[in-house]
Structure formats: structure tokens, C-alpha cells
Structure 1
Amino acid sequence: MLSRRASLILIAPAVVLLGLLFLYPLSYSLIWAFSDEELGGWGLQNFIKAWGLYSRDVLFTLIIVTLSTLIIGAVSVAIGGYLTLGENRVALAVLRTLYRWPLFIPFVVSAQLMRTFLAKNGMMNNIITSTGLMDPLAATSFLDWRGIVITFVWKQTPFVALLVAGAMAALDRSTIEAARNLGARRLRILLGIVVPQVGTTLMVGLILSYVVMMSVLSVPLMINAQTPTMITVDMAWRINAYSDYGVANALGFITYAMTAVIAWIYLRQGVREGGRPQ
């Protein structure tokens, strides 16, 4: 009994914070989303209006976040794989030093950096034109959906790569060395031996990145000054321009549904891992 009470006392602060910072705002958001101010009751009017106005933005958000997540996964596996299987000491030292930097930069700063880097007269085009590979008149701006994807990938790849590289470094290298002795190339070792063993860690990192990108406002707001745009921009617009909390929260509920699918996959995988015999 004493041990049970001690356990409850230990988890009480976490439960209180969860209730105050997540469950209470979530409940309040759902009330706003399903309330109908015109009829003075409950209904789906806010969802109908949100879908009618912003269905393209919902699809745009899903495509952007999914595409970014897939690219982040591929780049993270490449970075972690080279850190694990690479042999060039100089390249390894440089990669270990550089790939983590974006991890400590906030999204709003990342968006501002990309605005100056991806603009028509930005640093990227200036570097390319200075090398003679492109005519200055042919320079184009990447401040559109491509800029959002580039920013998300640049910002979130270090987080996932750090998890993946750590998991790869903890693997038993006997199987890797055995595959090398049999003549297997590094790419085959990476995809056939290493990645399957760190698949759970990779999935966790990608799910967390997916949820984070779904909630970012600064990147689409500062980079993509056209339509369609992401749901977070629409939510901010409905609140700031119209004080329409009903539609804004309906859009928020849609993002809950989009992330709930990913959360379900994560929880299902966790249950499977927990149910395996040790």
C-alpha cells in the first residue's frame, strides 16, 4: 500500500501538468469546434465551413508534412549509416560536427534564414550564378511549397539522425563485420542489416517530427506567401482577422485527426514491442 501511494505521489505532478497543459486546452478546443453560435447549440457547422473554405489547405498540409517526413527519414538513414559504416575519418569528423547544428535553431529563425537563402536573389542562387552554372535571369525563387519542405527537412533531420545514429552505434557489429567479410557493399549492409534493427527508433523519430511539423506556424507563414498554405496559417487568420474561434478550432480538430492516425501507429508498435517475450 505504501509503495502504491508513493507511486501516485511521484506521478501526480506529471498528471497535473498533462491535465492543465493538454487535456484542458483540448477539451476547450473541442467545445469551440462543435458549438454553433448561430443556433445556440451543437453541430458540425464549423467543420462544414472549414472544409468548404480550406479543404485544399488540408490536403496541402498532409502532402507537405508527409513528403518532408519521408525525406527526413531517407536523409537521417544516410547520415546515420555513414557515421556507422563510413571509413573516411575527416568526412566523419566534419559530418558529426555539422549535421547537429540546425537542431538548436528555432523554427522562426530557420524560416528567416531560408527566406534569405532561397529567395530569387538569395544566397543559393547567387552562389550558383557566380560559378557560371546558371544565368542570373534564369534564377527562380524557392519561397513556395519547396521552401517549406526544405526548411522542415533541414530543421528536423538532425533530431531524427541523432536518434538513428545512436541506435546504429549500439548495434552488435559482428553481423556487420560478417557481411563485410562475405563481400557485401555498404549500401546493402545498411538497408539489409542495419536499418531493420533500428526501424523502431527511426519510426519514433519520424512520428515526433511529423507531429512537430504539423503544428509549425512560422515556416509556412514566412516562406509561402501564396495559396494553398498550411492549416496553421488558416487557424491564425481565422482568429486574428475574424475572431472566428469556431472554425479555427474545427481546423485544429482536423489536425488532431491527422496526427491521431500516426499516434495510433506509434502506440500499436509500442504494444507489439512490449508484448514480445524477452
Structure 2
Amino acid sequence: MLPYLLLAPALFVVGAFFLVPLAFSVIGAFEGPQGPTFVNLANAASLYRMDLVFTLLIVVASTALTGLGAVAIGGYLTLGRSRTALRLLGAMYRWPLFIPFIVAAQAMRGFIGQNGLMNNTLVWIGLMPQEWAQSFLDWRGIVITFVWKQLPFATLLVAGAMAALDRSGIEAAQNLGAGRLRILIGIVLPQVARNIMVALVLSFVTMMSVLSVPMMISGQSPTMLTVAMAWRINSFGDYGTANALGLVSCILTGLVAWIWLRQAAAERAR
């Protein structure tokens, strides 16, 4: 019984905070005043089709940029030669990891706005005239905030896997005259591909569930599904359509996780 007792707290948390709400959401998506119905799903599809496409584009773009940034930082931490740069980069890239999304969104509002710190700094040092200043508080701001906030988490996974590699192959390639970019692409990345995929899947799932960033950064339409769900509940009390949108989000994230699990299982079988 000892293994089951050790697993019991984790299973209770997963069941109470994930499986039970998921079950209520699935039931609520098909629940109507007169019994089971598909009206909620039809409303979600007709009213928020563009929001669904917008959400996918934002999250996919943010995930791809997060992966590229994690590979770049992890690659330099593994293959870089400047000790000063390595110490600075190793100390600085972790900072956003400890900042909540709502704080990151509020900070970005003061940084990338039309009169924000970024534009004022560029104007002050003479790199941009004042009339060129523009606001990034739209889809670009959402992507910037997502990447800035999620990059440290992905980098920790990727850089940790790179640091654990056997360096004999890297040193042999260096002795034969291979450049750092070629070593990174040809030797390092194939060995940490699974860790990169884990970082991308977890980043995708995390960004799909964030409400504060799209709500605080961009007030434009279309918007992300999390904002649409909050709007249906707070403005109309329409839990059915909100549950339908949540079900769509769960299906999308579950599909991404299933693709990764299937690929991992195939690699393990080989």
C-alpha cells in the first residue's frame, strides 16, 4: 500500500483541481435548459471563430519564438567562450521566471506603449525620431509578453539538457574545425530534441490558459479565447458558451500533448 499512499496526495490534487473541473466543463458545454444540446458549441463556433484562429496564431507564433530563443540561449551557454557574457546571460535570463503573468502584462504596458520606456529610450539616445513612436499594445505586445515570460522556463529545460550532454563529441567537432552554429545544429540539437519538444508543449499549454496578458495588453477584436470566456460569463452569464470555448481549448491542448506523446512513444519503441 505504500506506493499508493505516496501517490494519493498527487492524485487528489489532479482529480480535485483538474479532472473535476474538466468534467463540469464538458458537461456544461452540452447542457441546455431542456437537456443535452449542441447549441453552445454552435454559438461558440459562430461567434468566436475568428478568436479561435487568432488564439492559435498568437500561441503558435509565441511558442515558436520561445523555442528559438531557448535554443539560442542554451546553445550559447553550452558553446559560448566569453566567461563574462556567460555569467551575465546565465544570471539575467531567469528573472522573468519568478514574475506572475499579470505583473508581466502590467510591466509591458509601461514598456511597449506609445509613450512607454522603450520608445522614450530610443528617442532619447537618438535612434528614432519622436514621430515614429508607436504603440505595441496589440497582438505584437501579446507575443512579446508571452515570449519574455515563458522563455526562462523553456531555456531551463533546454540548457539543462545541453549541459548534461557528453562533451566528447562537441570537443571532437571543435578539433576538426566545426563552427559553433554547425555543432549546435548537427550535434547538440538532435540529442536534446525531446527536451525541446517538452518545453514547447508545456509553453503552448501555459499560454493557451493565460487570461491577464491578452486582457491587459490588447483591447482589440479579435481576442484570445480566455478573454472571450470571461466576457461570456461576466457580461452575459452564459456559462454554456464559455464551457464550449473551454472545451475547444482543452481539445487543442490535448491534441498537441497527444502528438508529442505519440512521437515519444514511437522513439522509445525504436
Task: Name the TM-score, length of structure 2 as normaliser.
Answer: 0.97
1:23 to partner: Cα distance: 1.2
Count of residues in correspondence between the two structures? 270
Where in structure 1 are there 5+ consecutive unaligned residues? none
SS of equivalent residue, structure 1 residue 140: coil
Write the letter of the residue equivalent to 1:86.
G
Structure 2 residue 99 is matched with structure 1 residue 105: yes
Q: Deviations over 1:99-155 (max 9, x none)?
A: 000000000000000000000000000011112221111111000000000000000
Q: Could you tell me how far apart the structure 1 residues matched to 2:65 and 2:143 are?
A: 9
Given candidates 172, 175, 178, the residue that maps to 2:172 is: 178
Q: Deviations over 1:170-194 (max 9, x none)?
A: 1011110111111111001001110
Structure 2 residue 266 is matched with structure 1 residue 257: no
Write the letter of the residue equivalent to 2:140.
R
Write the letter of the residue equivalent to 1:65.
V
Q: Could you tell me how far apart the structure 2 residues matched to 1:20 and 1:13 are?
A: 10
Q: Could you tell me how far apart the structure 1 residues matched to 2:115 and 2:200 are?
A: 33
Given candidates 250, 266, 270, the residue that maps to 1:272 is: 266
Tell me the percent identity: 59
Write the letter of the residue equivalent to 2:52.
V
Over the aligned positions, Cα root-mean-square deviation in angstroms equals 1.0
Structure 2 residue 113 is matched with structure 1 residue 119: yes
Write the letter of the residue equivalent to 1:236.
A
Aligned to 2:13: 17
Q: Could you tell me how far apart the structure 2 residues matched to 1:12 and 1:121 are?
A: 52
List structure 1 runs of 4+ shifted beyond 6 angstroms.
none
1:30 to partner: Cα distance: 0.8
Given candidates 15, 31, 36, the residue that maps to 1:35 is: 31
Where in structure 2 are there 5+ consecutive unaligned residues? none
SS of equivalent residue, structure 1 residue 183: coil
Task: Name the TM-score, length of structure 1 as normaliser.
Answer: 0.95
Write the letter of the residue equivalent to 1:21.
F
Q: Could you tell me how far apart the structure 1 residues matched to 2:133 and 2:222 are?
A: 23
Q: Could you tell me how far apart the structure 2 residues matched to 1:156 and 1:220 are?
A: 15
